[in-house]
Structure 1
Amino acid sequence: MTSVPRIDVDDPDVDMDHAQRLLYRGTPFTGEVAEYQDEQLISLDEYTEGVLHGKSREWYRDGTLRSEGTVRDGRAWGEFKEWHPNGTLRSRKYFDSSPASLREEDTWDEQGAALTSWRRDNG
């Protein structure tokens, strides 16, 4: 099994080009891009040829999952979830491939009580 390259977003060899692609040592990067705060992993994103493409995850400083979802060609795609610091689901969003891609959104408070529910009309 081949290991996936991982770089730190704060590495001095990381840059962006005019097309907003992530570069590592001058080349569009393919692999995982991590962000750390005081040595604690707080985000991990997958890139292909310098473009956000794949899993996208964030954590609170205590290691609790904060959000996760999938990105295709730099745009949210499918289900994205966010959690409150106590681990309770905060929101669930669903994106499709259309230009106005947010199709559904539900939110909850820290106790898990539903706050909002929204669906975009297909018409």
Structure 2
Amino acid sequence: MSRRSVVRGINEEELEYDYEAYGAALFLGKPFSGEAIEVSGDKVISLTTFVGGVVDGPKKEWYESGQLRSEGEVIHPQGAVGVWREWSESGQLVQRKEFDEKGNMISWREWNEAGNMTKDDSYKPLW
């Protein structure tokens, strides 16, 4: 898809989903490519990137305070890839998951609010 055909920054409420086409996100009746934001009041609380109607690219969420809640990247059709992080509302990193290029989770770490690691698991790829 040409980068010139990408629409940016629409409100996620403007999207429709075609469940006969695997839940493709549609904007004005066509598969959506661009960034869709979810808003609560006057605050952006999530950003999801779509390509050709499917989630593909950066995904971020924020607390209503503006603090980043989570971030990661999705590559279609694999799913989550790379490092995904989640923070508490105070800004403390509470979770870090890492996925390989095929979407296999290869590590999962968690910390409590005091910053002490409570989980440190590694996984072998399924394929």
- TM-score scaled by structure 1? 0.89
Gaps of 5+ in 2: none
What is the root-mean-square deviation of aligned Cα atoms in Å?
A: 1.9
CA distance 1:71–1:122, shift in 2 (3 Å): closer
CA distance in 1 between counterparts of 2:13 and 2:89 reads 25
Equivalence map 1:78-97=2 (5 Å):
78-97=82-101
2:76 is aligned to 73
Matched, 1:28 2:24: no
Matched, 1:9 2:12: yes
Whose helix proportion is higher, 1 or 2? 2
**Percent identical:** 33
CA distance 1:108–1:25, shift in 2 (3 Å): same
CA distance 1:49–1:81, shift in 2 (3 Å): same
Gaps of 5+ in 1: none
Cα deviation for residue 97 of structure 1 reads: 3.6
Matched letter for residue 16 of structure 2: D
Matched letter for residue 107 of structure 2: E
| Consecutive aligned runs of 4 or more in structure 1 exceeding 4 Å deviation | none
Cα deviation for residue 20 of structure 1 reads: 0.9
Aligned length: 119
How big is each residue's C-alpha offset from its partner over 1:19-70, in whole Å with a ceiling of 9 and x where there is no partner?
2111001100000000001121000011101111111000000000000001
